């Protein structure tokens, strides 16, 4: 599956993406910002990438101008920490990560917005959850910009990069909020 924006191609990962993938999953900043330890050996990263290729809504973020994979956006089933019953699969969680070389260039809001459009307009999702750790200002900015509202805070057992305990900030956006924020009239679609 492929989706497109002005600068980006969003597509499923391929095992041949390993060199670009390794570049950001081995970073000191990217993994820890998302709550996982950076990869320190290529073999482990290859195994993880193999798993990522099997996820239907895991989109690699590819720059159109040079075909470089620089991150990902994923629509996933809601995690247990959200506590929402979802028998009809109308609720999803969105997660994203980006190579630190591309932070601050508006790439992530562009990619996430396209996935939000796909979720709300194509998959007919009624609610999207997102979250970030309290010190992850980049993710907070993306979620603020796109209109996700804070719905709660959860103390987390994870330790942040600086060794301090971190708090998970949970956010949500409904389909109605999305349609209103981006002025989408479904009668014209």
Q: pLDDT tens-digit profile of 56-112? A: 999 999 999 999 999 999 999 886 556 666 666 789 999 999 999 999 999 999 999
Supply the CATH number for residue 90's domain: 3.40.630.30
- 93 three-state secondary structure: strand
Instruction: Answer whether residue 22 shows pLDDT above 90.
Output: yes
Report yes or no: 44 and 58 within 8 Å, Cβ to Cβ: no
Number of domains into which the chain is organized:
1
Task: Report the C-alpha gap between 121 and 161 in whole angstroms.
Answer: 37
- 109 three-state secondary structure: helix
Structural domain range at position 118: 2-188
Give the torsion through C-alpha atoms of 116, 120, 126, 129, to 10 deg. Answer: -10
Q: pLDDT tens-digit profile of 27-58? A: 988 887 777 788 999 999 999 999 999 999 99
């Amino acid at each position: 599956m492929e989706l497109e924006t002005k600068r980006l191609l969003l597509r499923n990962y391929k095992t041949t993406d390993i060199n670009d993938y390794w570049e950001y999953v081995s970073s000191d900043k990217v993994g820890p910002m998302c709550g996982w330890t950076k990869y320190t050996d290529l073999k482990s990263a290859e195994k993880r990438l193999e798993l990522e290729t099997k996820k239907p809504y895991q989109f690699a973020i590819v720059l159109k101008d040079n075909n470089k994979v620089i991150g990902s956006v994923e629509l996933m089933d809601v995690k247990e920490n959200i506590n929402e019953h979802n028998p009809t699969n109308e609720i999803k969680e969105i997660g994203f990560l980006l190579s630190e070389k591309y932070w601050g260039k508006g790439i992530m809001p562009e990619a996430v917005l396209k996935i939000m459009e796909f979720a709300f307009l194509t998959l007919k999702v009624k609610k999207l959850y997102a979250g970030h750790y309290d010190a992850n200002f980049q993710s907070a900015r993306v979620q603020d910009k796109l209109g996700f509202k804070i719905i709660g805070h959860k103390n987390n057992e994870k330790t942040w990069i600086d060794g301090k305990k971190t708090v998970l900030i949970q956010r949500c956006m409904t389909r109605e909020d999305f349609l209103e924020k981006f002025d989408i009239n479904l009668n014209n679609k």
